[in-house]
Each structure stands twice: as C-alpha cells, then as structure tokens.
C-alpha cells in the first residue's frame, strides 16, 4: 500500500500581496457599468468541484475509495447595495442576460466572468435605516458570443 508523502508548508506566493481589507470591492456589469446601485458588501465567486465518485468495489478491504469529478464551476457572487429606485428599469434590462461581470478587488486586481444576474431583492425599508438590496449573480462559464466554455479571466496587480 502506498502512503501519501508529507509536504512542508512554504511561504505563500505573492506574500505580502494578500488583501488586508475588503474595502473597496465593487462589481461591474459589462452591459450597464454605471448601474444605479452602490455596493456595501460584495462576495466574490468561488470555485467548486463536483461530488466525488465512489469507486469502491468488492475488492476494497477497509476504506471507501473515491475519485474526483471532471469539471469545475464558479460559485455564486452576491452582495448588498444601496440603490436608486430608478434602478428597477436597469435591472429589467439585464436580469437573466448572460453578460460579462468584473469584480474589482481593493488592490486593483480583477476577476471577470460570464454570469447572469439571477436575483435582485430589495430589503425592508425602515425608519432611520439605509435602504438596501441583495443581489445574486450566477456564473455561467459560457461565452454567449463565441459559444464556448469560458472560465474567469484574472488580472493581478504588481506584487500579487
């Protein structure tokens, strides 16, 4: 039986290029880059692999064995924003439309991905409380113009 080898942890690549503060993270829609909402929170998309494949057989002795799936997806990006009530017209023009979205990190780095604005949900209005809306963007990983699979495009600033 082969045992996994021990790997020593090394200093992260890019150190000290890590983000130290989430302010100011913004997200832009290619079809409406000056949309009338003001981000107060932004959650970047993540990466997710599929469920593992159980490859156990009657020849296994002690452990269930598994293999990784083949494809990766981007997880949803979401956020909270203040808004102009007129944004409803802008949202109606872009919701369910597969367009490029760009997440702008505080250090100037960007992640651009194809996605669909899936939810735009105003929160309850209350006295002396800033009115906000929650939004959710689902990555599609699909370039609708060229009709091809397309993962995120990453642009890093110097030092990262």
Mean pLDDT of 1-21: 79
Is 64 a domain residue? no
Task: List the structure tokens of 39.
Answer: 């981000």
- Residue 8 banded pLDDT, cuts 50, 70, 90: confident
Token readout for 52 is 């593992």
What are the tens digits of pLDDT across the range 97-139?
999 999 999 999 999 999 999 999 999 999 999 999 999 999 9
Is the residue at 58 inside a domain? no
β-bridge mates for residue 134, sequence order: 80, 121
Q: What is the reported pLDDT for 58?
A: 97
160 pLDDT more than 70: no
Alpha helices in 40-132 (DSSP H): 87-94
Q: Would you state the pLDDT for residue 20?
A: 87
- Asked, for residue 26, whether it belongs to a domain, the answer is no
The better pLDDT of the pair 89, 11 is held by 89
Measured between alpha carbons, how far is 105 from 108 in angstroms, rounded to an integer? 5
What residues does 122 pair with on adjacent strands?
133
Strands 26-29 and 98-104: antiparallel
Residue 159: per-residue pLDDT: 58
Asked whether the beta carbons of 97 and 114 are under 8 A apart, the reply is no
Instruction: For residue 147, tell me if it sits in a domain.
Output: yes
Measure the CA–CA gap between 64 and 53, rounded to whole angstroms: 10
**Residue 4 predicted with pLDDT over 80:** yes
Q: Rounded CA gap, 80 and 138, in Å?
A: 15
Domain boundaries, position 126:
32-48+74-155
Q: What is the pTM for the complete model shown?
A: 0.87
Looking at residue 13, its pLDDT comes to 76
Q: What pLDDT score was predicted for residue 10?
A: 84
Convert the pLDDT of each residue in 15-73 to its tens digit. Answer: 667 888 999 999 999 999 999 999 999 999 999 999 999 999 999 999 999 999 999 99
Please indicate, yes or no, if residue 144 is contained in any of the structural domains.
yes
* Helices H / strands E in the chain, number of each: 1, 13
Task: Please give the pLDDT value at position 3.
Answer: 83
According to DSSP, residue 31 is labeled T
Asked if residue 116 is part of any domain, the answer here is: yes
Choice between 70 and 13, residue whose per-residue pLDDT is larger: 70
Burial class (CB in 10 A: 0-12, 13-18, 19+), 117: buried
**Overall number of domains in the chain:** 1
Contact 41, 79 (CB under 8 A): yes
Quick check: is 60 in a domain? no
Q: Is 79 inside any structural domain?
A: yes
Structure tokens at 158: 């110097």
């Amino acid at each position: 039986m082969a045992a996994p080898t021990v790997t020593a942890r090394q200093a992260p690549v890019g150190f000290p290029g890590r983000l130290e503060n989430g302010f100011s993270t913004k997200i832009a829609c290619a079809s409406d880059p000056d949309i009338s909402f003001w981000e107060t929170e932004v959650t970047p998309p993540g990466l997710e692999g599929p469920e593992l494949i159980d490859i156990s057989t009657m020849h296994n002795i002690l452990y269930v064995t598994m293999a990784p799936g083949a494809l990766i997806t981007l997880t949803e990006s979401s956020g909270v924003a203040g808004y102009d009530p007129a944004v409803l017209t802008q949202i109606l023009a872009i919701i369910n439309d597969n367009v490029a979205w760009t997440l702008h990190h505080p250090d100037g780095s960007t992640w651009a991905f194809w996605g669909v604005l899936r939810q735009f949900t105003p929160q309850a209005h209350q006295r002396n409380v800033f009115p906000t809306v929650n939004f959710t963007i689902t990555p599609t990983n699909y370039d609708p113009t060229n009709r091809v699979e397309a993962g995120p495009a990453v642009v890093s600033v110097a030092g990262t």
